[in-house]
């Protein structure tokens, strides 16, 4: 008896068939891939498509009713310039020490426009400044080349007592400190001449410490370098015509030895050795060390606030939203800031406020920009105060 082996024609029961096997009989449809479009960067917190309602401008940001005179206002501005370092800042000990040391090194100066933002009486303020400067209680600092008009930060003030405290913290010899303090209190606005009461060596010591600079900086460096050949500076080492003829890489190619001082700059780079001070440099003026880093910090803070306002459609935003942007969004309701990922939190150390601006407070930079005429603060009906870039 023979057996014939054949393949079984039995198929799996319907309830054991997979979904893919059931669909094999029907024609397969090609999946349609949706085109991915890159969305435009939009601030998620900016829900104001229309302009904010303007019910009137705020002329002053005075929040302390005790601010009644200029010295008191100056102390208030300096003491509220920076925020305290948060406990969970994300900065290591080295960066924390760097921030604190930078703050300590800044000169005790305040811009004139900042004072006007807190005291709503321009005439009274200017009159008081003149009286205090004449009495050598405060001193006016004029720094050319830092803008013009109300937005300029070239007009600053310093209390003489704070100036003296800064001098006492330096390595200047005690006998020279006494001479400097006498000059500081006797010449309220006039520049001093090196041959009056200071020797060449003493002048060099003060320049190296940053407490004296040249008073011949009223003209810009660009105007000096680009002077025509018939001008008085055409034959000097800083003339662009002589610089162009100098060998590349040589000292003459950058204006020669002491070019910075010859063009009205400060500091001590390029000076002669102590005891050989050039008396032909003319008048000197008293200065504070690290004034340049301070002005750079103020300019950076102003620029950053205007950039944050430009993220809104009409260059205006509610005050609370602008403050949140300034703080980098780390003060929102979520414990990890504006980050959507709790494993990648937004710490203060990652924000521009702490990376580049060393923790400048929002209220300080707001008053700085308002006094400089860069912004307007106005009342709204529903969202409190609004801020608008001019």
Q: Which three-class secondary structure string do you get for 160-179?
A: HHHHHHHHHCCCCCHHHHHH
Does 343 score more than 50 pLDDT? yes
For residue 120, what pLDDT is reported? 82
pLDDT on residue 173: 94
In this predicted structure, the answer to whether residue 143 has a pLDDT above a threshold of 60 is yes
| Structure confidence at residue 362 as a pLDDT band (50, 70, 90) | very high
Please report which confidence band the pLDDT of residue 165 belongs to, taking 50, 70 and 90 as the band edges.
Answer: very high
Question: What rounded mean pLDDT belongs to the chain?
Answer: 73
How high is the pLDDT of residue 228? 41
Q: How confident is the model at residue 221 (pLDDT cuts 50, 70, 90)?
A: very low
DSSP class of residue 154 equals -
Helix (H, G, I), strand (E, B) or coil at 139: strand
Identify whether the C-beta of residue 214 lies closer than 8 Å to the C-beta of residue 285: yes
Which residues does 76 contact at the CB level (< 8 Å), separation at least 6?
A: 64, 67, 118
d(CA 183, CA 174): 14
Task: Name the strand (E) or helix (H) holding 147.
Answer: none
Strongest mean pLDDT among 114-128, 234-248, 336-350: 114-128
User: What pLDDT is stored for residue 48 in this prediction?
Assistant: 59
Residue 111 burial (CB < 10 Å; 0-12/13-18/19+)?
buried
pLDDT in tens, 253-283: 555 544 444 444 444 444 444 444 555 555 6
Q: Please state the pTM of the whole predicted model.
A: 0.70
pLDDT, greater one: 184 or 46:
184
**Degrees to nearest 5, angle at CA 243 with 241 and 248:** 140
pLDDT at position 78, please?
95
How does residue 356 score in pLDDT terms, banded at 50, 70 and 90? very high
- Max mean pLDDT range (32-36, 273-277, 301-305): 301-305
Helix (H, G, I), strand (E, B) or coil at 240: helix
Burial class (CB in 10 A: 0-12, 13-18, 19+), 163: buried
72 pLDDT higher than 80:
yes
The whole-number average pLDDT for the span 301-330 is 90
Structure tokens, 88: 């969970």
133 vs 123: CA distance, rounded Å: 15
Q: How many CB atoms lie within 10 A of CB 369?
A: 26
> How far apart are alpha carbons 187 and 378 in whole angstroms?
42
What would the mean pLDDT of 27-53 be, rounded to a whole number? 51
Higher pLDDT, 11 or 229: 11
């Amino acid at each position: 008896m023979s057996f014939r082996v054949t393949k079984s024609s039995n198929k799996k029961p319907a309830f054991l068939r997979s979904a893919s096997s059931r669909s094999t009989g029907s024609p397969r449809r090609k999946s349609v891939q949706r085109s991915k479009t890159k969305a435009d960067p939009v601030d998620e917190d900016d829900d104001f498509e229309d302009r904010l309602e303007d019910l009137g401008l705020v002329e002053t940001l005075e929040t302390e009713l005790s601010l009644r005179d200029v010295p008191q206002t100056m102390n208030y501005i300096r003491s509220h310039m920076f925020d305290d370092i948060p406990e969970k800042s994300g900065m290591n000990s080295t960066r924390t020490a760097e921030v604190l040391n930078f703050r300590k090194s800044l000169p005790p100066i305040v811009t004139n426009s900042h004072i006007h933002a807190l005291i709503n009486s321009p005439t009274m303020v200017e009159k008081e400044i003149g009286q205090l400067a004449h009495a050598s209680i405060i001193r006016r600092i004029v720094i050319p080349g830092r803008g013009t008009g109300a937005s300029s930060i070239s007009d600053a003030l310093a209390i003489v007592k704070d100036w003296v405290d800064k001098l006492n913290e330096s390595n200047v010899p005690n006998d020279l400190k006494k001479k400097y303090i006498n000059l500081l209190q006797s010449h309220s606005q006039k520049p001093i001449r090196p041959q009056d009461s200071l020797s060449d060596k003493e002048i060099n010591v003060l320049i190296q410490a940053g407490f004296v600079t040249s008073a011949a900086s009223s003209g810009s460096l660009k105007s000096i370098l680009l002077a025509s050949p018939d001008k008085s500076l055409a034959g000097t080492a800083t003339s662009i015509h002589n610089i162009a003829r100098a060998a590349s890489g040589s000292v003459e190619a950058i204006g020669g030895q002491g070019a910075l001082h010859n063009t009205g700059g400060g500091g001590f780079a390029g000076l002669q050795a102590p005891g050989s001070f050039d008396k032909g440099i003319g008048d000197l003026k008293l200065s504070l060390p690290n004034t340049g880093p301070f002005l750079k910090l103020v300019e950076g803070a102003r620029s950053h606030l205007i950039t944050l306002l430009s993220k809104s459609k009409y260059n205006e935003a509610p005050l609370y939203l602008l403050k949140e942007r300034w703080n980098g969004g780390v003060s929102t309701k979520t414990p990890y800031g504006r980050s959507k990922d709790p494993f990648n939190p937004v710490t203060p150390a990652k924000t521009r406020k702490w990376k580049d601006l060393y923790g400048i407070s929002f209220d300080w930079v707001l008053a700085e920009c308002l006094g400089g005429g860069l912004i307007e603060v106005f009342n709204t009906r529903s969202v409190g105060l609004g801020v608008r870039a001019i």
